[in-house]
Structure 1
Amino acid sequence: MAVIEFINASNNTYKGMKRAIEYIKNPLKTAPHLAGGKDCSPDTAFNEFVMVKQNFKKETGRQFIHFVQSFSPNDKATPEIINEIGRKLLEHEAFKEFQVVYSTHTDKEHLHNHFIINSVSFTTGRKWQLSKEQLESLKEYSDQLCRDYGLIIIDGAKGKRKDRGEYRANEKQQSWKYELYLSVKECKWCSRSKEEFVANMEKLGYKVDWSDERKYISFTTPSGKKCRNRKLYPPEQFTKEALLKAFELNKQQATKKQMQSRMELLLSAIQMLSLQDRNNNQGHYPLTALEGEGRKERAMEEAKGRGLDWDKEGGKDM
């Protein structure tokens, strides 16, 4: 998976912004076809950023945001693929209404994407901000994009491969809510109707209260904890409407047998891992651990069947 790191610029002025843009487009580090812009041209990004700031009279304070998306040197991906992942990352809601210039650098052992964000929105003039929840959502979305392209996990601190389950255990403290999130997400893409979704959640040990009279869906975990769908992040991906849309997409792209096969593979993998956890006296969050070991992805790919592709829609959950 890619590691996202925000860079604190000591000279966050017009001059610093111009240098940052010139740096990420340095021909010694990248190539013209590996540079792009969201709502701006990479060739005129600096001038376009300045015009927006002047238009909204927001020429003081922080002028730009610089962050890097780094990949493992062991990844078998071309610069063009890494660039495409960077472009898709900018579809995240965090960048809505903000201009971004980006490029893929090939001068290091590991490929990496650089992004320069205009600190002022080109539609409202508001300053760019990123909450902890949005940062987590952005990282999850980046991870999902990497999974879509078959990339591996790396340790951002040491630059080494790292088990995803280890990340989850440290970052989530084996969170029951994160385990619920994974369960809902998997059942969302293993179901073709509301009824199948409820049944699949029950197979994982969860009770689902989905009533037409109530705005929200309520989930009860195997240990008795309760949580509504609006508490899962990002909430817009787990509304009733979002789930029903996913069910319809599944219905169009896969047969009932293929959906059942996918769920059965998931259950088999969970059962195997849960047995290992009990023998080792470990926690009871099999989907969290399964995500970490990469077995879920392999099982899901086998269950999809040839000619099927959930990447475009399924990837939006992370």
Structure 2
Amino acid sequence: MAVIEFINASNNTYKGMKRAINYIKNPDKTELHLVGGKDCSPDTALNEFVMTKQNFKKETGRQIIHFVQSFSPHDKATPEVINEIGKKLLEYEAFKGFQVVYVTHTDKEHLHNHFIINSVSFTTGQKWQLSKKKLEKLKEYSDELCRDYGLIVVDGAKGNHKNRGEYRAKDKEQSWKYELFLAVRQCKWCSRSKEEFISNMEKLGYKVDWSDKRKYITFTTPNGKKCRNRKLYPPKQFTKEALIKAFELNEQQATNKQLQARMEILLTVIEMISNDKSNNYKSHLPLTALEGRAKKERAIEESKGRGLDWKNGKSM
């Protein structure tokens, strides 16, 4: 998986903040379409960071947080895919309410994402903090994203990697939980009731223990592994209440035939992937393979659409 490393440079001054942002946006290290901003524009991020600090009178102390997400040089992922993974990483709850500039660097043998976070939240004025426990959760989330895209494991010190065979063995051991997550998410939007949800999960090979006497739902995978709904991320989307609310929305917005058609299409695609000998690596994780294919294709198509913005006379 990707290695996450925090940079402990001097970030306590305006000049230090400016220098760091300019460094990650250096055109010798990246391309314009690989530069992005969360809750800010990368072109005006410095001023936006300063305005947030002034608004909450928090102009002293650490000004920014700088970290890097590095990938194996043996991966064949495009810079656009790596950039999309970086953007997805910022959906993690620790970044909520914080402005971030993110850039994919292509100047090294290994592709890597740089992130510059404003140390002050633009919604609460609180300083950004990441406990050891939350850091581990962030790394786990990063690992989930990498598994989603089928990337090679990066292990230990920066730059060390496992070969493809070792990656496959590791993936078979751990990716079942992400496959379960995808199955629950799919069946959540293909069902109109608790009973229908359980039936759809059984069609995918999963058993569901949903009792009114117990707080949590327990899922059992086709291989016998057990997992509670609170272990799926983000957990608030898979509580009993959240699932029932989704069922009610499905009842209002879709007909039974439409939901059945969704499920039938899903089962057909899963069967095709499972029987595809050329895709044997992911045949035991068909939903993971399906999502990985879709995201890679979307990233490639998006990169094709980038070019010159004729209206504004700028590169996109």
TM-score (norm: length of structure 2): 0.67
Contact 1:5 1:67 (8 Å CA) reproduced = yes
Which residue in 2 is equivalent to 1:154?
153
- Who is 1:63 aligned against? 63
- For 2:108, the equivalent position in structure 1 comes to 108
Equivalent pair of 2:71/2:154 in contact (CA under 8 Å):
no
- 2:6 corresponding residue in structure 1: 7
C-alpha distance in 2 between matches for 1:266 and 1:237: 27
Secondary structure class of the residue paired with 1:42: coil
Match of 1:166 among 157, 165, 170: 170
Q: Distance in 2 between matches of 1:184 and 1:123?
A: 31
Aligned ranges for residues 212-227 of structure 1 at < 5 Å? 216-219=215-218
Cα contact 1:100–1:116 (8 A) shared by 2: yes
- Secondary structure of 1:155's aligned partner: coil
Deviation at 1:160, TM superposition (A): 3.8
Deviation of 1:5 (Å): 1.1
Give distance in 1, aligned partners of 2:60 and 2:24. Answer: 23
Alpha carbons 2:99, 2:118 under 8 Å: kept? yes
Deviation at 1:98, TM superposition (A): 0.4
Question: Letter of the aligned partner of 1:300 in structure 2?
Answer: L
1:209 counterpart letter in structure 2: W
Which amino acid is the alignment partner of residue 163 of structure 1?
A: Y
Change (3 A) 1:22 1:56: same
Within 2, Cα distance between the matches of 1:258 and 1:201? 15
In the aligned structure 2, how far is the partner of 1:196 from the partner of 1:267? Answer: 24
Residue 209 of structure 2: aligned partner? 208
SS in 2 for 1:62: coil
Query: 1:10-25, aligned counterparts within 5 Å?
Result: 10-14=9-13, 15-25=15-25
User: Contact 1:209 / 1:218 at 8 angstroms: preserved in 2?
Assistant: yes
Contact 1:68 1:115 (8 Å CA) reproduced:
yes
Partner of residue 93, structure 2: 93
User: Which ranges of structure 2 fall in alignment gaps of 5 or more residues?
Assistant: 276-280, 299-316
**How much does 1:151 deviate?**
4.0
Shift of 1:146: 4.1
- The equivalent of 1:288 in structure 2 is none
**Which residue pairs with 2:314 in the alignment?**
none
Q: What is aligned with 1:186?
A: 183
Letter in 1 for 2:121: S
CA distance in structure 2 between the aligned counterparts of 1:218 and 1:189, rounded to whole angstroms:
16
Deviation at 1:230, TM superposition (A): 3.7
Gaps of 5+ in 1: 269-292, 313-318
Cα deviation, residue 24, structure 1:
0.6
Give 1:110 deviation, angstroms: 1.6
Give the equivalent residue in structure 2 for 1:300: 287
Does residue 45 of structure 2 align to residue 45 of structure 1?
A: yes
The TM-score, its normalising length taken from structure 1, stands at: 0.66
Q: What residue identity is the alignment partner of 1:257?
A: E
Residue 262 of structure 1, CA deviation: 6.4
C-alpha distance in 1, partners of 2:206/2:125? Answer: 47
Equivalent position of 2:263 in the other structure: 256
CA RMSD of superposed structures (Å): 4.4
User: Residue deviations 1:197-227, cap 9 Å, x none?
Assistant: 424666867551244xx794332769x9997
Residues in 1 aligned to 2:168 and 2:237: alpha-carbon distance in whole angstroms: 22
In 2, are the aligned partners of 1:229 and 1:235 still within 8 Å (CA)?
yes
What is the identity, as a one-letter code, of the residue corresponding to 2:209?
V
Secondary structure at the aligned position of 2:127 is classed as coil
